[in-house]
């Protein structure tokens, strides 16, 4: 084994409490000032049970030193990595950040927060998954927690803080397919009648007509609506932060779209604009709609999605309809678009999905009808062919039966002692077979030979 050069570090075998351990030691380009005022070099130390693990830690520390990463800046535990990852994710949407922070605080930090980052194994993640399932979390929530951990470890893997992503190798439970319950045609008519005349009736009509997301409808501004041309541009979404409301960009490029307004939705928005102008005049100086939103409170302030959901479910109870979420209006819009003959890609563009697979997977109940219709058409095509083949078989059986009846007719003539005709020549047994006269037959019969040229 070659001897390491100066500054490359060392591996040392030692025995502590009767167990063998391996210590990795590497001098760093960092200095500290001791109690006596003298500068002393910092060293990287790592103790592992196996020599291979200690050597791997030494190599990682050497790479960090070459790249200028300070050991003091390197997270030591999974909890520190999660905290730094969240602090540097400035691109997260407000609701996404809130969800990530809640997942880290409630599930990830209690289970893995104290685990040393370099010692995190797949077994730790598997035990966390089992513990979350024992607590009664749904498969979707467990998978979401693993996803958050996987994203954080991916960042640590990119920066060289971890050798591998243990969450990527874990096996979360299979996802549970959510039941989609769109409104039926009769329920849609009942709902429209129930919200007719309500100050939020236009909201239901718009979401139902265009399949908008809740945040898209609540973040819609009057400057994005052209009632003369009957078009609406979806450019922003309403988000709620601790400091208040703000308009944010859609998550994907497909979320930015321009949609045509049905006449029913355009008429509802015209009536809603007149109602909002009356409320503004009635409110006076207390009116505050700085964002220019279409749907606001009676004083012009943004609407919180929870308050809208509470109002919507109250309308459903009053109309005698099953209580559902506002998202069911979006599902219903997909069903109505499909009923009008739009393809899956056209529905994807209206709903603002970035991938047609999202549309197909989310609205499987809608496209099941397509599959059934295709099966019925194939059944009809194959069934018609089967009927034609059956008719030809039946005609063939009739012809065979007719030949059999003629055979029975001949075989029944016992008094004449006749047999049926020969199947090849058609001649009757005991009768001369007619032939075309030729030279040999003529000479045999004693006739004169044919004249020759």
Cβ–Cβ < 8 Å for 211, 268: no
Six token digits for residue 116? 């040393």
42: exposed, middle or buried (Cβ count in 10 Å: 0-12, 13-18, 19+)? middle
List the structure tokens of 272.
């809603």
- Predicted pLDDT at 132: 95
What sign for the dihedral angle of Cα 190, 191, 194, 196? negative
Is 23 within 8 Å of 47 (Cβ atoms)? yes
C-alpha–C-alpha distance, residues 378 and 376, integer Å: 5
Residue 69 has what pLDDT? 61
Q: Which residue has the tokens 């009767």?
A: 18
Strand ranges for 153-309 from DSSP E: 225-226, 231-234, 237-241, 244-248, 257-260
Residue 435: its pLDDT value, please? 47
Task: Assess contact for 250 and 93: CB atoms under 8 A.
Answer: no
Which pair of tokens denotes residue 63?
Answer: 């790479």
**Distances in Å between the alpha carbon of 408 and those of 396, 397, 412, 414, 418?**
18, 16, 6, 11, 12
Specify the pTM. 0.61
CA distance 220 to 321: 28
- In degrees and rounded to multiples of 5, residue 163 shows phi and psi of -80, -35
Task: Identify which of 3, 47, 43 has the alpha carbon closest to the alpha carbon of residue 26.
Answer: 43
**Residues 112 and 166: beta-carbon distance below 8 Å:** no
Paired strand residues for 23: 12, 47
Sorted by where each starts, the structural domains of the chain and their CATH numbers stand as 10-71 (no CATH), 78-169 (1.10.150.130), 185-354 (1.10.443.10)
**Nearest 5°: phi and psi at 103?**
-65, -40
Parts of the chain with a pLDDT under 70:
1-7, 29-37, 39-40, 42, 45, 67-74, 177-178, 242, 363-372, 374, 383-391, 393-394, 397-453
Neighbours of 122 (CB within 10 A): 15
Which among 43, 44, 78, 73 has a CA at the least distance from the CA of 60?
A: 44
Cβ 384 vs Cβ 376: under 8 Å: no
CA distance 423 to 93: 90
What is the per-residue pLDDT across 163-181, written as a single tens digit (0 to 9) for each? Answer: 789 999 999 998 876 677 8
- 47 and 20 in contact (C-beta within 8 Å)? no
Q: Choose among 203, 101, 202: nearest CA to 152.
A: 101
Q: What is the SS3 string spanning 295-338?
A: CECCCCCECCHHHHHHHHHHHHHHHCCCCCCCHHHHHHHHHHHH
Question: H-type helices in 31-74, by residue range?
Answer: 51-67
CA 61/CA 57 separation, integer angstroms: 6
Select from 231, 227, 208, 215 the least CA-distant residue to 293. 215
**E strand segments, 34-187:** 39-48
Alpha-carbon distance of 259 to 138, in angstroms, equals: 37
Nearest residue to 75 via CA among 28, 120, 129: 120
Query: Which tokens in the block code for residue 238?
Result: 């309403």
């Amino acid at each position: 084994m070659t001897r390491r050069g100066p500054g490359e570090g060392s591996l040392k075998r030692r025995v502590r409490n009767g167990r063998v351990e391996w210590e990795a030691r590497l001098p760093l380009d960092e200095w500290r000032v001791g109690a006596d005022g003298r500068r002393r070099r910092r060293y990287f130390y790592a103790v592992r049970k196996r020599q291979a693990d200690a050597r791997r830690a030494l190599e990682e520390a050497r790479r960090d030193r070459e790249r200028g990463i300070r050991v003091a800046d390197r997270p030591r535990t999974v909890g520190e990595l999660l905290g730094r990852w969240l602090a540097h994710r400035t691109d997260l949407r407000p609701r996404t950040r809130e969800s990530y922070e809640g997942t880290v605080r409630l599930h990830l930090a209690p289970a893995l927060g104290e685990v040393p980052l370099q010692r995190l194994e797949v077994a730790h993640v598997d035990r966390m998954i089992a513990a979350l399932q024992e607590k009664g979390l749904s498969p979707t929530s467990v998978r979401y927690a693993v996803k958050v951990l996987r994203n954080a470890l991916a960042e640590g893997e990119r920066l060289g803080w971890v050798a591998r992503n243990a969450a990527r190798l874990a096996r979360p439970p299979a996802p549970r397919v959510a039941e989609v319950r769109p409104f039926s045609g009769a329920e849609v008519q009942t709902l429209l009648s129930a919200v007719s005349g309500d100050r939020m009736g236009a909201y239901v009509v718009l979401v139902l007509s265009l399949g908008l997301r809740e945040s898209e409808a609540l973040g819609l501004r009057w400057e994005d609506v052209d009632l003369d041309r009957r078009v609406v541009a979806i450019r922003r979404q309403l988000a709620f932060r601790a400091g208040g409301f703000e308009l944010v960009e859609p998550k994907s490029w497909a979320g930015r779209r321009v949609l045509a307004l049905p006449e029913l939705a355009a008429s509802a928005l015209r009536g809603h604009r007149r109602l909002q102008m009356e409320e503004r005049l009635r409110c006076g100086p207390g009116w505050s709609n700085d964002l220019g939103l279409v749907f606001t409170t009676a004083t012009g302030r943004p609407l919180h999605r929870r308050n809208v959901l509470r109002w919507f479910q109250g309308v459903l109870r009053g109309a005698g309809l099953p209580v559902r979420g506002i998202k069911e209006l979006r599902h219903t819009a997909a069903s109505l678009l499909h009923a009008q003959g739009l393809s899956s890609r056209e529905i994807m563009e209206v709903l603002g999905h970035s991938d047609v697979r999202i549309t197909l997977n989310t609205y499987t109940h809608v496209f099941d009808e397509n599959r059934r219709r295709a099966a019925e058409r194939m059944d009809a095509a194959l069934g018609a062919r089967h009927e034609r083949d059956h008719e030809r078989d039946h005609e063939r059986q009739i012809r065979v039966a007719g030949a059999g009846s003629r055979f029975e007719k001949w075989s029944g003539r016992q008094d004449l002692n006749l047999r049926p005709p020969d199947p090849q020549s058609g001649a009757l047994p005991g009768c001369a077979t007619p032939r075309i006269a030729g030279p040999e037959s003529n000479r045999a019969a004693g006739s004169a030979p044919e004249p020759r040229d």
